[in-house]
Amino acid sequence: MMLGLQNEREWQVFCREVLQRPELLDDPRFAGNANRVAAREALRAIIVEAFATHTSTQLAERLESAGIANARVKRNGRRVGARSWRHAAAGRGSRHRPVRSRR
């Protein structure tokens, strides 16, 4: 599952509605995007734990309902579904290229 939070409003919605962890909004490690980037591993662990009990379909529905951009991705990197990220130029060629993961 790939998702994107674009601003503080979406972070708040993500915590409340998707993770169902509103207490994260008061956690100083996650106050502002710079702090969330610095605490990336801790935040990743929280997200993985919250997502572990749901199917990708359930997660996609929850993210869509919250208005959070998301896409399901196969292991080989091909998109399976990305209703929120459809590009107007899709199907007419793309100037985007795949990027390798840092892992």
What is this structure's pTM? 0.70
Return d(Cα 69, Cα 82) in angstroms, integer: 8
Sign for the pseudo-dihedral over CA of 31, 37, 53, 60: positive
- d(CA 80, CA 55) in angstroms, rounded, equals 14
pLDDT in tens, 21-59: 999 999 999 999 999 999 999 999 999 999 999 998 999
